[in-house]
Amino acid sequence: MQKNQEFEVTITDMGVDGEGIGKVDGFPFFIKDAVIGDVICAKALKVKKNYGYARLMEVITPSADRVTPRCPISRPCGGCQLQALSYEKQLEFKQNKVKNNLIRIGGFDPQEIVQKMEPIIGMEEPYFYRNKAQFPVGRDKNGRLVAGFYAGRTHTIIPVENCCLGVAVNEKIVKKVLAFLEEYHIEPYDETTHSGLVRHILIRYGFSSKEILVCLVLNGDTLPHAEKLVDSLCELPGMTSIQINSNKKRTNVILGETVQTLWGKESITDTIGGIEYQISALSFYQVNPMQTEKLYQKALEYADLTGNETVWDLYCGIGTISLFLAQKAKQVYGVEIVPQAIDDAKKNAARNHISNVEFFVGKAEEVVPDYVQQKGQFAAQQATPQDTEMRRPDVIVVDPPRKGCEETLLHTMLQMAPKRIVYVSCDSATLARDLKVLCADGYEVQRVCAVDQFGQTGHVETVCLLSRKTQ
């Protein structure tokens, strides 16, 4: 097989990112947008020694699981990988992805994993669920001002104002911002020349509060004629906060470190499971609040609290899981790297009259080992009776970003020897890697539950309960 050669192939499997896999004389091709069960015509893009990549040219016989994508640009846009697959099959794919990672990367016994895995928790409405949107702003080939999404793996902006994973109001906001930029001749950012002002439009929406936050990310510190933008955005019901964020670096990271409020409050609120949260532009907040509630309920169920427990919540963000746990625990300690998120976490505890939580700013892999070994910021502190309980907690919950936990943190957790560890993960590959470390040294996987927080995409969230083996 050579580059650019066209061939017919049946899709018999799916890769970890949701791409189709089809074999030609035993040689596998990864083919984006092809659905398992399809017979397609493909064109070889890259042929390596043991596998290749091909492009879907035409669907000859569609799979029984193929559906029409709701979004007209689902193929070029990099955001969704599974829109052409029925939602039922998407869930099956995600359940298998978690299972296979635990077996292949974690080295667990297949039968044992099947027994311990609960059925995946799917979404009732797998579209329009995202409470956060980030639209890059730029100019297209014809010099037209556009906002949209980056085409998969590139930095070309595909104009789209109404992504069907997000809420309907996003489109109105984007139109208003673009009209404002046109009228006052404000240039969008151009990353090749590092010139122009407006980089991104960030929108956050509180599903329960109906409050909206709009933040313009600028390659600068001020927005000319800002009051005109404020007047225009304030016509939208629910507008609560209008902000600017300065990001003057040449970077792919969307947000800079400082935020100024142009109008309204500094944050919006949202409610999950009866707890009200304050969310500011810079804080991490789960993007799908309906599924997040189910995810946190599962984490709480696994933590199995009776009211006497000391619990750590590592990678706590704005304290969402911490406050859920605090309602059922004696004391909860949260650790998070972003200082603004910890400010939100403290305010969220006060707002909900929850006093049995304490929060620490810092890297989990530094704060927790330092605490246990009384080093760093904890070196000079007087020992309190509480310390023993903190060093020997009943439960540790972790919810790290995709890269998982640092090994030093895992070893400290082993040293702290909690009865239970609840691992919440957005990447089952790093989850499997970390479980292997914990299970090599006294822990056992009890339950695993996948929760679909990200319909139409290849991502899946997983909660896992580990318990310490009795010696």
User: Whole-number minimum distance, CB 64 to ligand SAH, in Å?
Assistant: 37
Instruction: Show the binding pattern over residues 280-309: x = contacts ligand SAH (CB under 6 A), - = does not.
Output: ----xxx-----------------------
- Contact status: 270 vs ligand SAH (CB under 6 A): no
Output DSSP code: residue 190.
B
Q: Which of residues 381-410 bind ligand SAH (CB under 6 A)?
A: 399-401
What value, to the nearest 5°, has the Cα angle with vertex 228 and ends 224 and 230? 105
- Contact status: 223 vs ligand SAH (CB under 6 A): no
C-beta separation of 336 from 317 below 8 A: yes
Residue with the two structure tokens 């640009």: 73
Q: Which of residues 20-49 bind ligand SAH (CB under 6 A)?
A: none
Of the listed pieces 192-200, 279-287, 375-383, 461-469, which binds ligand SAH according to CB under 6 A? 279-287
Of the listed pieces 12-20, 27-35, 126-134, 310-318, which binds ligand SAH according to CB under 6 A? 310-318
Number of residues binding to ligand SAH, judged by CB under 6 A:
19
Instruction: Show the binding pattern over residues 230-269: x = contacts ligand SAH (CB under 6 A), - = does not.
Output: ----------------------------------------
The yes-or-no answer on residue 426 being catalytic is yes
The dihedral built from the CA positions of residue 404, 407, 413 and 414, taken in this order, carries a sign that is positive
Nearest CA-CA partner of 398 in 426, 360, 379: 426
Distance (Å, whole) CA 72 – CA 332: 46
Of the listed pieces 180-188, 331-339, 368-376, 462-470, which binds ligand SAH according to CB under 6 A? 331-339
User: Whole-number minimum distance, CB 240 to ligand SAH, in Å?
Assistant: 20
Beta carbon nearer to ligand SAH, 151 or 372: 372
Q: Quick one: which of 65, 161, 336, 344 contacts ligand SAH (CB under 6 A)?
A: 336
Output DSSP code: residue 86.
-
Residue with the two structure tokens 């016994």: 109
Task: Locate 339 and state its tokens.
Answer: 């200082």
Beta carbon nearer to ligand SAH, 232 or 322: 322
- Cβ atoms within 10 A of the Cβ of 316, count? 29
The dihedrals phi and psi of 416, each to the nearest 5 degrees, come to: -75, -20
- Contact status: 333 vs ligand SAH (CB under 6 A): no
Task: Locate 142 and state its tokens.
Answer: 């014809």
Output DSSP code: residue 438.
H
Range 448-467 burial, b when 16+ CB lie within 10 A, else e:
bbbbbbbbbbbbbbbbbbbb
- Contact status: 316 vs ligand SAH (CB under 6 A): yes
Nearest CA-CA partner of 104 in 465, 471, 435: 435
- Contact status: 438 vs ligand SAH (CB under 6 A): no
Among 164, 426, 449, 464, the active-site one is: 426
- Cβ atoms within 10 A of the Cβ of 374, count? 13
Distance (Å, whole) CA 24 – CA 44: 11
- Contact status: 337 vs ligand SAH (CB under 6 A): yes
C-beta separation of 386 from 312 below 8 A: no
Which position's Cβ is nearest ligand SAH?
317
Q: Quick one: which of 59, 287, 338, 439 contacts ligand SAH (CB under 6 A)?
A: 338
Footprint on this chain of ligand SAH (rule: CB under 6 A): 284-286, 315-317, 320-321, 335-338, 341, 363-365, 399-401
- Annotated catalytic sites, by residue? 426
